[in-house]
A and B are shown apart, each in its own frame.
Chain A
Amino acid sequence: MLDNIRDLYQEVVFDHNRNPRNFRVMENANRTVEGFNPLCGDKITLYVKIDDGIVSDVSFQGQGCAISTASASLMTDIVKGKSEAEAEHLFEVFHRITTSQDAAINLDELGKLAVLAGVRAYPARVKCATLAWHSLQAALKNQTSVTTE
């Protein structure tokens, strides 16, 4: 009945929504960002620990839809251990594949993030997928809050 919706709601998304990774408060974070999507009310608090230019730890708390929770969970998994420059690059790649209809998707570069490329077909849901990433970018720029609208 709902075959094509599985392009958006893949098993990986359900898995990360049910059991989000790195879903915790980080006491010793040196960057904390409050991310907010005023259109849908999704909220995220992103905790980042940066040591010598490396994202040594990243975690989050918040409430949102399955897409937003899974995206945040996947993001924390993939950026942990990356350099700030690598994390910034991943933000740009993710932003491009979720917002540009014709962007080629390099699956090797994206790894598990590729499951969220399906959100491109749902313009109303793109902000759900990008909230965590905008919060990460804000953390890299040493900002404390970000709003997507």
Chain B
Amino acid sequence: MSNYDVQALRRDFPLLHQSVHGKPLVYLDNAATAQKPQAVIDAIEHYYRQDNANIHRGVHTLSQRATDAYENARATVRRFLNAAGDKEIIFVRGATEAINLVAQSFGRTRLQAGDEVLITAMEHHANIVPWQMLREQLGIVLKVAPMNDAGELLMDEFAALIGPRTRLLAVTHMSNALGTINPVKRMVDLAHAQGVPVLLDGAQAVPHIPVDVQALDCDFYVFSGHKLYGPTGIGVLYGKQALLESMPPYQGGGDMIRRVTFDKTEYAGLPFKFEAGTPHIAGAIGLGAAIEYIASIGLTAIADHEHALLAYATEQALTIPGLRLIGTAAEKGGILSFVLERIHPHDVGTILDHCGIAVRAGHHCAMPVMDFFGVPATTRASFALYNTFEEVDVLMEGIREVVKVFG
């Protein structure tokens, strides 16, 4: 902690240095999307100013540079996840597309009516709706593992739900609405003991938790670039090579073929089989730059800083009368979700905005979680590597102002 110079890190993020409604911006909506360091902005700009060309097909110099930069980004992601090979890293638009890819490619060809997909009560809509679509297409059964009032998974109930018809476990590594970090290694082991493959939704986890897909032994791991200080529109599907090889393409088009005639098409090998069309080249390069930026600080140091912020914010929030925390798991990432007695989160969000504070007010794309806690919505402050203890103080003053305004 002593070496963590948050003020120096803040200088890497140009967007942070502005005023909103005449107040210094306090950006606490990082679980929705994180701000971008200069290194990421520079990498994208450099690509468009110097190297822009289509990849994997040109013989000219720019195409080679663009291809190298894109494939270097893939290698950077592979090292970040400690995947066994670059072929296991598929670039997609985001975590949502990655889950849809698995649902449609793996799910649609491997599952039959009556087969079960097991998820949990704290999933984001992105890890619910693709399976409901598969349910409509195939007649599969969606099972939901329950949680307790703290927002922690009930492990005995979870284990009991893995049965002879379970074909896939799809679970969030870290809840976006509650902050809960799930014991995913134990869950993978329990599922594998019954021969069930596992998809982990790492959209929230990757900016906060070092991930080693080989140590976790998960079969799929998905995340989005933009929550990891990278660009929007780029994300990653990791899959074990043998599994990906056995799966049919998700979309057809250019770049994913070896040979096409009107009678027959021979598909390209991994990872190109799953990357039809010209991909988001600049996005992949920007994501690679984001990962290198994070690595230069150290994810463990970032996680320690965010945990300290969360602990301080939690302690301060509990001194505000009428404030109830939503999500109090023992293992939590940097998310403070709360409701105020008789004050709707949208009113809280608007008034905090007038204090220069950006938070999320709403259902966080997790309506079943809101229903479980009996609230229509929550206000959520989420922390990133550049947030400060002073910003937590500003947030708490803002919340007290809300309480005062609403009397």
> Which residue of B21, B346, B355, B401 is within 8 Å of A40 (Cβ)?
B346
A8 to B350, CA, bound (A): 10
Q: Are B362 and A125 in contact (CB under 8 A)?
A: no
> Which residue of A41, A64, A66 is within 8 Å of B370 (Cβ)?
A41
B135-179 interface code vs A (CB 8 A; 1 in, 0 out): 000000000000000000000000000000000000000000000
Q: Are B344 and A64 in contact (CB under 8 A)?
A: yes
B318-362 interface code vs A (CB 8 A; 1 in, 0 out): 000000000000000000000000011111001100110000011
Taking CB atoms, residues of chain A closer than 8 Å to B193 are none
Q: Are B406 and A125 in contact (CB under 8 A)?
A: no
Q: Does B377 contact A (CB under 8 A)?
A: yes
Interface class of chain A by DSSP: mixed
> Which residue of B346, B370, B401 is within 8 Å of A125 (Cβ)?
B346
Q: Are A65 and B401 in contact (CB under 8 A)?
A: no
B354-394 interface code vs A (CB 8 A; 1 in, 0 out): 11000001110001001000001100000000000000000
Answer whether A40 and B377 are a contact pair too, CB < 8 Å, given A2-B355, A14-B407, A66-B344. Answer: yes
Taking CB atoms, residues of chain B closer than 8 Å to A9 are 347, 351, 405
Q: Are A2 and B351 in contact (CB under 8 A)?
A: yes
A64 to B377, CA, bound (A): 10
Interface residues of A (CB under 8 A from B): 1-2, 4-5, 8-9, 14, 39-43, 63-68, 122, 124-125, 128
A55 to B165, CA, bound (A): 57
- Chain A proximity of B366: nearest CB distance (Å): 11
What 3 A-B pairs have minimum CB-CB distances, sorted nearest first? A65-B344, A65-B346, A41-B376
Taking CB atoms, residues of chain B closer than 8 Å to A68 are 344
Q: List 14 A–B pairs whose Cβ atoms lie within 8 Å, in order of A's numbering.
A: A2-B405, A4-B21, A5-B351, A5-B405, A9-B351, A9-B405, A40-B346, A40-B377, A41-B363, A41-B370, A41-B376, A66-B406, A67-B347, A128-B346
Answer whether A5 and B350 are a contact pair too, CB < 8 Å, given A41-B363, A41-B367, A66-B406. Answer: yes
- Chain A proximity of B369: nearest CB distance (Å): 12
Taking CB atoms, residues of chain A closer than 8 Å to B351 are 2, 5, 9
Interface residues of B (CB under 8 A from A): 21, 343-347, 350-351, 354-355, 361-363, 367, 370, 376-377, 401, 405-407
> Which residue of A1, A14, A125 is within 8 Å of B350 (Cβ)?
A125
Closest residue to B346 on the A side, CB-wise? A65
- Chain A proximity of B29: nearest CB distance (Å): 13
Taking CB atoms, residues of chain B closer than 8 Å to A124 are 350
Q: Are B377 and A41 in contact (CB under 8 A)?
A: yes
Taking CB atoms, residues of chain B closer than 8 Å to A14 are 406-407
A65 to B406, CA, bound (A): 12
Residue from A65, A67, A122, A128 with most neighbouring chain B CB atoms (10 Å): A65
A68 to B347, CA, bound (A): 10
Answer whether A66 and B362 are a contact pair too, CB < 8 Å, given A9-B405, A14-B406, A41-B367. Answer: no
A4 to B367, CA, bound (A): 33
Q: Are A1 and B363 in contact (CB under 8 A)?
A: no
- Chain A proximity of B371: nearest CB distance (Å): 10
- Chain B proximity of A72: nearest CB distance (Å): 13
- Chain A proximity of B402: nearest CB distance (Å): 10
A69 to B348, CA, bound (A): 15
A39 to B376, CA, bound (A): 11
A135 to B362, CA, bound (A): 21
Taking CB atoms, residues of chain B closer than 8 Å to A64 are 344, 376
> Which residue of B354, B363, B405, B407 is within 8 Å of A4 (Cβ)?
B354
A128 to B377, CA, bound (A): 14
A9 to B376, CA, bound (A): 21
Q: Are B401 and A66 in contact (CB under 8 A)?
A: no
- Chain A proximity of B139: nearest CB distance (Å): 27
Q: Are A66 and B377 in contact (CB under 8 A)?
A: no
Closest residue to B371 on the A side, CB-wise? A41
Closest residue to B367 on the A side, CB-wise? A41
Taking CB atoms, residues of chain A closer than 8 Å to B362 are 39-41
Q: Are A66 and B347 in contact (CB under 8 A)?
A: yes
Taking CB atoms, residues of chain B closer than 8 Å to A65 are 344-347
A43 to B344, CA, bound (A): 13
Q: Knowing that A4-B21, A65-B347, A66-B406 touch, tell me 6 more A-B residue pairs with CB under 8 angstroms.
A: A2-B354, A4-B354, A9-B347, A14-B406, A41-B363, A66-B347
Closest residue to B351 on the A side, CB-wise? A5
Taking CB atoms, residues of chain A closer than 8 Å to B347 are 9, 65-67
A43 to B377, CA, bound (A): 12
Closest residue to A1 on the B side, CB-wise? B401
Q: Are A5 and B346 in contact (CB under 8 A)?
A: no
A9 to B407, CA, bound (A): 12
- Chain B proximity of A37: nearest CB distance (Å): 10
